[in-house]
């Protein structure tokens, strides 16, 4: 047990909770505040959506999160806003009123979560209005499942609520009493449970060395499922999310190649502006990665260190020839990403190491990137197959071809033989047909809940055909608008 | 087109309708619009809990506060699908931190079989294990986490046996949970022999997880005598009361079941909410403590049954115009390990194997296959959707065979004059409504213009193909188990004039309580605010039917109306006798919170509050019960003929899709719906049912894929792997309208129609449109095979198969 202090709807709270307590458990079981609901305890339904801001920010910036898989300890000195906080007496928040007016609730169980997602959208729009495109609405609400309404009235509520400004209540500016030293700063006994929150890379690597059995936690969007779904005890946790060095994005070069060093603790939401400007295909993928709640918490480093064969960003980073910087208490080393994944869920990362930064090389102005994700559902789903294709097309000939797949092997993996089959080849049907034959033998994908082996195999071949069609018949529609970018 | 004609509040007309009800079908009386009733039945009132929903104040079962020493229960579920339990080592479980009690089959004091209709559902496994997820034991501990951790310490030994997972193979071996049933009309064999053309095909139709956002949950409190109070998320409180009493071996009156609201039900809490209440009740009586039991999502998905997967096939004789002359349809429902409600569900699939089309001389056969999975159960449509799928598949197939547009073929085959009797002998009423509805939609959706545009588009687009389909719905309303078509209500008027109405139906989000309050408000001429429902409780209204079969408002609304009109008539009698200058009894009415007697100069107005007060002081009862039983319906199981449905609800949808035939990805571009709810009780709520039902159905046929491994373990056991529609799946163009000007031809509640299930089946248009898009790959010459759910995987493989054939 350790004490956390935070604001709950403007009221300072102090709670003693174990390291693996979620915000949802804290609310429902410790505090008896039950407006926030549990639908799945896996971050997939959004019924438990809450909003979190940092009270030390000049202007409150609320981000949505799934309370069921967000560690309560990450509330340390944060402001947690829940469904109970939105109404001031009889005066409802515009999101609440709009939901009523649009008949947006039926059974009502998902409603608190939907209102909270609308709340964060509303506050963002009030601060910085941007066009509410269908994509924007999807990004804001795709992580909130509703089984009753079919979403039409919720869409109406989202559009209508913005006509009413929110007069933010005074408690929104509440501050926490100052404390002399951060909690958890004391020395930790070897078997003691803890939730360490180092603030520097040095402190992080030191903690990593001292507690080799402790787990690293960033956004917890996957780790926490070990607790909620498989009941793993997560009693020694080192939180990387407060480490300053892990949050920077810097333009720099590596081995003479210019690009960006992205801190491993950068969340998907924080990564978005860079990708929008320089890697639109990657940015588009990001919109289909998890939900807003997940993108607000999940980090690029976490997605790589997790080493899942169906993680979304690794195949893209492989195709882009990304590098990693790994740090321990003695220093850092740099490794190409395509050597990092050694086997199913295994990596080069030593027991005392962390991923500190990811280098994403700038793309040559003549180079192109295509990223295609196949899944059962367009939003908030995990890939069955993900193909990332990087290449240059010069005078009808393919150069610098790098292709990587997710979902086709035990790790995210480059298609080296297929790359070789296309390298230096003219853009012809014959080139791609022979590349397809190579690809056909290069992978033996798995058969699982997300797709059969046969499907994955055929899908990868078809994505290669899509690449050919995209390049050879650029004026013809070969993709659906909802999936294209 | 979202507003509907308002209903009239004329009580003498209402009385006449009540009279008609007793007579069965009264003459169709189209009443004039009455502004008085706009706040009441017929108006788009908000959901009674809307404000509580959006503020988080609406309490669900797991929000119920209990004493600090309440215990939490977790369940030990079988890890294998079929076998014999040889040893259940629970010592480590009992000794685990926080554990207070552990129970197994041998600790059940009363009945151990909790099968709802037929026996076959043991509360715990004794020896034989029939599915992975079946309950072996239960642990009560001081916290849910402690209970769940303790469960993992069990030492379970099972002699595993081969799991039977294929319902078709089970049917061949005649492994059934209930006997096969047949409906037969005319000499179908002769028709097949003499046919110009015989078409046959088969189709696998996947199941569906309910995915109510609130999982199964109950809280059980022991009472001071031998009984319990059960708070449960439950569509059938009376059945839970019965089963809890039987399991405990106590009389029914010792058990009170209360349901305030559910966080979604969809059929999944009709029979399958009871086991948890029974288990919690046993522990409550053993420990004397309040018991909390809720299933974590993956336990919920593994332990409870789903919509039945079906394997259906048809063999149909058609003439040169593609009109069905007769033939044979066989449906095989994959029932899982026990009967549960499967008899009625497969029956309903059979009753809907015709959908809106005359089958001519036909035989429909329904098998109830037994497999080693959870016992499949009620789910919105109750087998109807699966039955309809086969005839809609046939319509597309016939169209390709005769080279006509599928809509043309559908319309040719509609029930029509001279062809208006179903294969089970019921005459289809309101045929004209069906034709009008489809023609209206055909025109408002610009079906033919779009059809031409799509054909042109597809000719020029080799990869992206568009598809279009209009499919109708004709859905029979009534429980097919006749005795369930009854309902009760209890109405109290308090001396301040406020009203409490209780009825047998449960609120699962469908707005039933709102509609019932509207009915009472209308009958008594009051504002909706004056009427409240506390909760559904077995000690208020007894022996209730499940809230199912779309019947909630039809049955309970009638019972509430019965109670309200009886009370109103009593107050009229009292007022006529009591007030001095002799009020005119004949013209008395309740409007705007007043009793009004006489007209013009002789009009007298008495405020409702004064009327109630005066009645109370004069010792007039201000409480009334109501009752309703649906007239006219019967079904002879031996002959397979009858009139099982009081009426039919109709609807139709046009869906347009774009398919990427290379990746199998697709999007639903536009949907137009026109749906028949008779005279709507609440257009806003009805729209919600239509839209929500459609999207839920679309999920069933597209992205929602249940997968078991070859050992019978469900591997799609959470929202990470089981994908219900989300926000972006809402079609960008979604034009939904309620059909106006067509009141129910039967004397239903204010001539309304049931709306819970029928719109679900509008989703078949999406699947048919996907097939239409794929069919364009063959220039509409063939009808592609497309089992459901039509995931991108299935669509891509179907497209690839067509391409390979062409090479």
Q: Select from A413, A310, A313, A324 the least CA-distant residue to A361.
A: A324
Q: Are B628 and B486 in contact (CB under 8 A)?
A: yes
CATH topology of domain A244-361: 3.30.465
pLDDT digits (tens, 9 = 90+) for B714-751: 999 999 999 999 999 999 999 999 999 999 999 999 99
Disruptive mutation site among A90, A105, A108, A116 for chain B (greatest number of B CBs within 10 Å): A108
When the pLDDT of each residue in chain B is averaged and rounded to a whole number, the result is 94
Whether a cis peptide bond, with omega within 30° of 0, leads into B276 is: no
What SS3 state is found at B245? helix
Q: What is the pLDDT of residue B637?
A: 94
pLDDT digits (tens, 9 = 90+) for B646-656: 999 999 999 99
Whole-model pTM: value is 0.95
Tell whether A235 is within 8 A of chain B (Cβ): no
Asked whether residue B628 carries a pLDDT value surpassing 60, the answer given is yes
CA–CA gap between residue B135 and residue A204 (Å, rounded): 45
CATH 3.30.390.50 fits A370-472, yes or no: yes
Q: What is the pLDDT of residue B580?
A: 75
Residue A67 class from Cβ within 10 Å (0-12 exposed, 13-18 middle, 19+ buried)?
buried
Q: Which residues pair with B607 in a beta bridge?
A: B594
CA–CA gap between residue B555 and residue B628 (Å, rounded): 6
CA–CA gap between residue A37 and residue B618 (Å, rounded): 49
CA–CA gap between residue B375 and residue B117 (Å, rounded): 13
Q: Are B789 and B700 in contact (CB under 8 A)?
A: yes
Do the chains contact at B660 and A480, CB–CB below 8 Å? yes
Q: Listing from the earlier edge strand, what are the strands of the sheet with A331-336?
A: A249-254, A257-263, A354-361, A323-328, A331-336
Tell whether A74 is within 8 A of chain B (Cβ): no
CA–CA gap between residue B766 and residue B671 (Å, rounded): 9
CATH superfamily name and code, A1-174: Beta-grasp domain (3.10.20.30)
Asked whether residue B510 carries a pLDDT value surpassing 50, the answer given is yes
Angle between helices B11-23 and B558-578 (to 10 degrees): 130
| Secondary structure of A73-120 in HEC code, one letter for each residue | HHHCCCEEECHHHCCECCECCHHHHHHHHCCCCCCCCCHHHHHHHHHH
- Beta-carbon pairs below 8 A across chains A and B: 264
CA B529 to each of CA A160, A216, B35, B497: distance values in angstroms, whole numbers, following the listed order: 26, 54, 18, 11
pLDDT digits (tens, 9 = 90+) for B164-195: 999 999 999 999 999 999 999 999 999 999 99
* End-to-end Cα, chain A, rounded Å: 48
Quote the ipTM score: 0.96
> In sequence order, which residues have a C-beta less than 8 Å from that of residue A3 and are 6 or more positions away?
A14, A15, A16, A183
* End-to-end Cα, chain B, rounded Å: 49
Residues of A in contact with B792 (CB under 8 A): 374-376, 384
**Percentage of residues in chain B having pLDDT higher than 90:** 92
CA–CA gap between residue A354 and residue A186 (Å, rounded): 22
Tell whether A382 is within 8 A of chain B (Cβ): yes
Do the chains contact at B727 and A149, CB–CB below 8 Å? no
Asked whether residue A2 carries a pLDDT value surpassing 90, the answer given is no
B495 compared with B20, residue with greater pLDDT: B495
Query: Nearest CA to CA, how far is B149 from chain A (Å)?
Result: 7
CA–CA gap between residue A420 and residue A432 (Å, rounded): 12
CB atoms within 10 A of CB B636: 12
Q: Where are the domains of chain A?
A: 1-174, 244-361, 370-472
Residues of B in contact with A480 (CB under 8 A): 464, 658, 660, 665-667
Calculate mean pLDDT across residues B702-711.
97
Least CB-CB distance to B56: which of A35, A42, A231? Answer: A35
Give the dihedral sign, CA A275/B792/A451/A463.
negative
Q: State the greatest distance between any 2 C-alpha atoms of chain B, in Å, as a whole number.
A: 95
Q: Are B249 and B109 in contact (CB under 8 A)?
A: yes
Q: Residue B392 has which token pair?
A: 């809609």
pLDDT digits (tens, 9 = 90+) for B269-310: 999 999 999 999 999 999 999 999 999 999 999 999 999 999
Q: Are B769 and B655 in contact (CB under 8 A)?
A: yes
Q: pLDDT band at B28, cuts 50/70/90?
A: very low
Q: Are A32 and B710 in contact (CB under 8 A)?
A: no
CA–CA gap between residue A228 and residue B368 (Å, rounded): 37
How far does CA B429 lie from the centroid of its chain? 22
Q: Are B353 and B388 in contact (CB under 8 A)?
A: yes
Disruptive mutation site among B656, B728, B736, B789 for chain A (greatest number of A CBs within 10 Å): B728
Tell whether A40 is within 8 A of chain B (Cβ): yes
Tell whether A112 is within 8 A of chain B (Cβ): yes
Closest chain A residue to the Cα of B707, Cα to Cα: A449
Q: Residue B574 has which token pair?
A: 């009292």
Asked whether residue A243 carries a pLDDT value surpassing 80, the answer given is yes
Helix (H) or strand (E) holding B358: none
User: Where do we find the tokens 């001389």?
Assistant: B361
pLDDT digits (tens, 9 = 90+) for B424-451: 999 999 999 999 999 999 999 999 999 9
Give the pairing of strands B291-294 and B71-77.
Answer: parallel
Catalytic-residue membership of B757: yes
Query: Nearest CA to CA, how far is A333 from chain B (Å)?
Result: 35
Query: Which one is catalytic: B23, B200, B757, B804?
Result: B757
Domains delineated in chain B: 61-162+216-294 (3.90.1170.50), 310-480+636-806 (3.30.365.10), 486-629 (3.30.365.10)
pLDDT digits (tens, 9 = 90+) for A119-132: 999 999 999 999 98
CB atoms within 10 A of CB A331: 8
How far does CA B413 lie from the centroid of its chain? 27
Do the chains contact at A151 and B727, CB–CB below 8 Å? yes
pLDDT digits (tens, 9 = 90+) for A370-394: 999 999 999 999 999 999 999 999 9
CA–CA gap between residue B661 and residue A231 (Å, rounded): 42
Least CB-CB distance to B734: which of A84, A152, A455? Answer: A152
**Per-residue b or e along B238-270, where b marks 16 or more CB atoms closer than 10 Å to that residue's CB:** bbbbbbbbbbbebebeebbbbbbbbbbbbbbbb
CA–CA gap between residue B429 and residue B442 (Å, rounded): 22
DSSP string, B329-347: EEEEEE-TTS-TTHHHHHH
């Amino acid at each position: 047990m350790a004490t956390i202090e935070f604001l709950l709807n403007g009221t300072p709270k102090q709670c003693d909770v174990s390291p693996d307590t979620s915000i949802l458990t804290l609310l429902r079981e410790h505090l008896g505040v039950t407006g926030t609901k549990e639908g799945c305890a896996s971050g997939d339904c959004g019924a438990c959506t809450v909003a979190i801001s940092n009270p030390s920010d000049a202007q409150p910036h609320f981000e949505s999160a799934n309370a069921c898989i967000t560690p309560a300890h990450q509330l340390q000195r944060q402001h947690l806003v829940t469904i109970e906080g939105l109404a001031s007496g009889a005066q409802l928040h515009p999101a609440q009123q709009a939901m009523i007016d649009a008949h947006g609730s039926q059974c009502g169980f998902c409603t608190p979560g939907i209102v909270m997602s609308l709340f964060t959208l509303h506050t963002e729009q009030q601060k910085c209005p941007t066009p509410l495109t269908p994509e924007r609405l999807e990004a804001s609400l795709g992580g909130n499942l509703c089984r009753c309404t079919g979403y039409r009235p919720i869409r109406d509520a989202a559009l209508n609520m913005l006509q009413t400004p929110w007069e933010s209540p005074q408690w929104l500016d509440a501050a926490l009493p100052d404390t002399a030293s951060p909690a958890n700063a004391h020395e930790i006994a070897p078997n003691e449970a803890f939730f360490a929150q180092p603030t520097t890379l040095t402190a992080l690597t030191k903690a990593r060395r001292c507690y080799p059995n402790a787990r690293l936690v960033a956004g917890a969007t996957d780790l926490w499922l070990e607790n909620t779904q498989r009941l793993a005890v997560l009693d020694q946790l080192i939180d990387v999310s407060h480490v300053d060095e892990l949050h920077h994005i810097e333009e720099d070069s590596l081995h003479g190649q210019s690009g960006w060093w992205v801190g491993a603790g950068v969340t998907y939401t924080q990564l978005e502006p860079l990708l929008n400007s320089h890697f639109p295909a990657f940015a588009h993928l990001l919109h289909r990665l998890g939900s807003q709640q997940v993108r607000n918490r999940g980090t690029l480093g976490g997605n790589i260190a997790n080493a899942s064969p169906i993680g979304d960003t690794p195949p893209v980073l492989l195709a882009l020839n990304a590098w990693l910087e790994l740090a321990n208490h003695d220093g850092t080393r740099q490794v190409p990403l395509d050597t990092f994944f050694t086997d199913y869920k295994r990596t080069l990362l030593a027991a005392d190491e962390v991923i500190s930064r990811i280098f994403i090389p700038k793309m040559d102005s003549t180079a192109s990137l295509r990223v295609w994700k196949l899944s059962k559902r367009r939003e908030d789903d995990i890939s069955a197959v993900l193909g990332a294709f990087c290449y240059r097309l010069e005078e009808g000939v393919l150069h610098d071809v790098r292709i990587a797949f997710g979902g086709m092997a035990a790790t995210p993996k480059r298609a080296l033989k297929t790359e070789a089959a296309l390298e230096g080849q003219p853009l012809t049907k014959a080139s791609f047909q022979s590349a397809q034959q190579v690809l056909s033998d290069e992978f033996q994908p798995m058969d699982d809940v997300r797709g059969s082996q046969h499907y994955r195999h055929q899908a990868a071949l078809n994505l290669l055909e899509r690449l050919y069609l995209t390049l050879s018949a650029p004026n013809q529609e070969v993709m659906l608008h909802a999936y294209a970018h | 087109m979202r507003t509907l004609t308002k209903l009239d509040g004329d009580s003498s007309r209402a009385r006449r309708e009540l009279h008609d009800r007793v007579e069965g079908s009264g003459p169709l009386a189209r009443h004039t619009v009455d502004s008085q009733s706009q706040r009441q039945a017929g108006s788009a009132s908000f959901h009674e809990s809307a404000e509580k929903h959006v503020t988080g104040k609406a309490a669900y079962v797991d929000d119920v506060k209990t004493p600090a020493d309440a215990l939490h229960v977790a369940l030990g579920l079988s890890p294998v699908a079929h076998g014999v339990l040889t040893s259940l080592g629970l010592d480590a479980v009992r000794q685990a931190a926080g554990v207070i009690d552990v129970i197994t089959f041998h600790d059940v004091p009363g009945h151990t079989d909790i099968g709802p209709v037929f026996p076959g559902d043991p509360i715990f496994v004794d020896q034989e294990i029939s599915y992975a997820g079946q309950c072996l034991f239960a642990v009560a501990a001081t916290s849910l986490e402690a209970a769940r951790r303790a469960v993992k310490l069990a030492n379970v030994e099972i002699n595993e046996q081969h799991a039977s997972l294929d319902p078709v193979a089970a049917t061949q071996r005649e492994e059934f949970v209930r006997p096969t049933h047949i409906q037969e009309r005319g000499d179908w064999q002769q028709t097949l022999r003499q046919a110009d053309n015989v078409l046959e095909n088969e189709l696998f139709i996947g199941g569906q997880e309910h995915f109510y956002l609130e999982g199964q949950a109950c809280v059980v409190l022991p009472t001071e005598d031998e009984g319990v109070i059960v708070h449960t998320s439950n569509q059938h409180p009376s059945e839970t009361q019965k089963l809890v009493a039987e399991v405990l071996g106590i009389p029914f009156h010792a058990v009170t079941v209360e349901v305030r609201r559910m966080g979604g039900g969809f059929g999944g809490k009709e029979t399958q909410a009871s086991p948890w209440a029974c288990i919690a009740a046993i522990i409550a009586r053993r420990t004397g403590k309040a018991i909390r039991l809720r299933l974590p999502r993956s336990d919920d998905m593994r332990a409870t049954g789903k919509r039945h997967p079906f394997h259906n096939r048809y063999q149909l004789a058609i003439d040169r115009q593609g009109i069905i002359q007769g033939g044979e349809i066989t449906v095989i429902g994959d029932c899982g390990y026990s009967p549960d409600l499967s008899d009625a569900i497969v029956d309903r699939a059979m009753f809907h194997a015709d959908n809106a089309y005359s089958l001519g001389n036909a035989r429909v056969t329904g098998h109830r296959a037994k497999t080693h999975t959870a016992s499949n159960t009620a789910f919105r449509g109750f087998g109807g959707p699966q039955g309809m799928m086969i005839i809609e598949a046939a319509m597309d197939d016939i169209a390709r065979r005769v080279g006509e547009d599928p809509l043309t073929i559908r319309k040719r085959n509609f029930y029509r004059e001279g062809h208006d009797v179903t294969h089970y002998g019921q005459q289809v009423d309101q045929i004209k409504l069906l034709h009008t509805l489809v023609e209206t939609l055909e025109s408002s959706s610009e079906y033919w213009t779009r059809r031409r545009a799509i054909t042109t588009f597809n000719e020029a687009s080799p990869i992206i193909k568009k598809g279009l389909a209009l499919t109708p719905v004709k859905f029979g309303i009534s429980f097919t188990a006749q005795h369930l078509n009854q309902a009760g209500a209890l109405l109290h008027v308090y001396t301040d004039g406020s009203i409490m109405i209780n009825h047998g139906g449960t609120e699962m989000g469908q707005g039933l309580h709102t509609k019932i309050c509207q009915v009472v408000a209308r009958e008594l001429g009051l504002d909706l605010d004056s009427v409240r429902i506390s909760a559904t409780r077995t000690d208020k209204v007894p022996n209730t039917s499940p809230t199912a079969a779309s019947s909630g408002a039809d049955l309970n609304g009638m019972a509430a109306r019965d109670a309200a009109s009886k009370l109103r008539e009593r107050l009229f009698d009292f007022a006529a006798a009591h007030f001095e200058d002799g009020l005119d009894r004949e013209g008395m009415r309740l409007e705007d919170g007043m009793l009004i007697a006489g007209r013009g100069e002789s009009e007298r107005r008495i405020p409702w509050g004064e009327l109630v007060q005066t009645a109370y002081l004069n010792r007039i009862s201000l409480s009334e019960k109501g009752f309703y039983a649906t007239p006219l319906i019967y079904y002879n199981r031996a002959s397979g003929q009858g009139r099982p449905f009081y009426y039919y609800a109709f609807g139709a949808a046009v869906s347009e899709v774009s398919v990427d035939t290379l990746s199998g990805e697709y999007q639903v571009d536009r949907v137009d719906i026109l749906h028949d709810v008779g005279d709507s009780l609440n257009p806003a709520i009805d729209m919600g049912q239509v839209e929500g039902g459609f999207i839920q159905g679309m999920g069933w046929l597209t992205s929602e894929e249940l997968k078991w491994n070859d050992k019978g373990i469900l591997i799609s056991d959470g929202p990470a792997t089981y994908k219900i529609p989300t926000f972006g799946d809402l079609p960008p163009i979604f034009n939904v309208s309620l059909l106006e000007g067509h009141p129910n031809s039967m004397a239903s509640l204010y001539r309304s129609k049931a709306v819970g299930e029928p719109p679900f089946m509008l989703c078949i248009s999406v699947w048919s449109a996907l097939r239409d898009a794929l069919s364009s790959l063959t220039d509409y010459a063939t009808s592609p095979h497309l089992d459901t759910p039509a995931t991108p995987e299935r669509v891509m493989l179907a497209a690839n198969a067509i391409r390979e054939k062409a090479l």
